[in-house]
Amino acid sequence: MTEPLNSGMDLVRPSLRDFTYLDCRRRAELIAEQAAKLPPVHSLLDVGGKGKPYACFFAGRVAHHYVLDVAPAHSVDVVGDARIMPFSDASMDVVLITQVLEHIPDPIAVIGEIRRVLKPGGTLLLSVPSIFPQHGSPGDYWRYMPQGLEWILRDFRSVNVRGEAGTVPSIFWWSTCTCSYSPALGPGCNNCCGGPSAP
């Protein structure tokens, strides 16, 4: 049984007619690139990942791919709020959250929960919009610049912020940032930033 595509759009192989074609295509490339770097792991939590659009990139690398979403669906393992995740501390090897954080009124609470459920040395793959039209439901509260991502991820190490779109789309229309990191052993952020805003 398969679920309908999010808004009728294939996030991994978008149509050229889709206005977010370049955005979705580049995001899928970055997620595939990061997934290929992962060693085999036990558990991946996909926050807001109804339909598991990126599961193909983690096949053979992740033993258990769990989905937490606010709405029930066939692919959703746990219906719940990302600000209060019903998972044990240090229970996930990887957390994937794509284009979700902007829809949550309290993103700092979500980052705190991600940090709590990640195992030491675990990996977060996060994508958020930077400059993008208002969209979606429930709500559309935030946009993120690279320095803003660095700030909300300040308690983690190995932060790598990368723009999804090229220079022209970034200036004139949209740009999203993808960030992967591991929890820090202590406070502070060891930054390795790339993308348009890096020195």
Residue 99 resides in a domain: yes
Q: From CA 157, how far away is CA 38, in angstroms rounded?
A: 17
pLDDT tens-digit series, residues 115-160: 999 998 888 888 887 766 566 766 876 677 778 888 888 877 777 7
- Report the C-alpha gap between 1 and 159 in whole angstroms: 37
How many structural domains compose the chain? 1
pLDDT tens-place string over residues 97-117: 988 888 788 999 999 999 999
Closest of 56, 60, 54 to residue 39, by C-alpha:
60
Q: Which residue has the tokens 């932060």?
A: 159
Q: Pick the residue with more confidence: 151 or 196?
A: 151
Does some domain include residue 83?
A: yes
pLDDT of the residue at 74: 93
78-79 and 62-69 beta bridge pairing: parallel
Show the tokens assigned to 162.
Answer: 């990368």
pLDDT of residue 158: 77
* Distance separating alpha carbons of residues 133 and 135, to the nearest angstrom: 6
Q: 6 φ, ψ to 5°?
A: -60, 115
Picking from 93, 92, 110, the residue whose alpha carbon sits closest to that of residue 101 is 110
CATH of the domain at 153: 3.40.50.150
Specify whether the CB–CB gap between 180 and 192 falls below 8 A: no
**Residue 141 lies inside a defined structural domain of this protein:** yes
What Å distances lie between residue 171 and 58, 77, 144, 176, 195, CA to CA? 32, 39, 14, 11, 13
Q: Which pTM was predicted?
A: 0.76
Distance of CA 52 to the CA centre of its chain: 12
Residue 170 within a domain: yes
195 in any annotated domain: no
- Whether residue 71 is contained in a domain is answered as yes
Q: Which tokens hold the place of 148?
A: 């803003």
Nearest to 149 by CA among 163, 165, 139: 163
Q: Would 57 be classed as within a structural domain?
A: yes
pLDDT the model gives residue 11: 63
- Confidence band for 39, pLDDT divided at 50, 70 and 90: very high
**In terms of residue numbers, what domain contains 58?**
6-183
Q: Is position 124 within any domain? A: yes
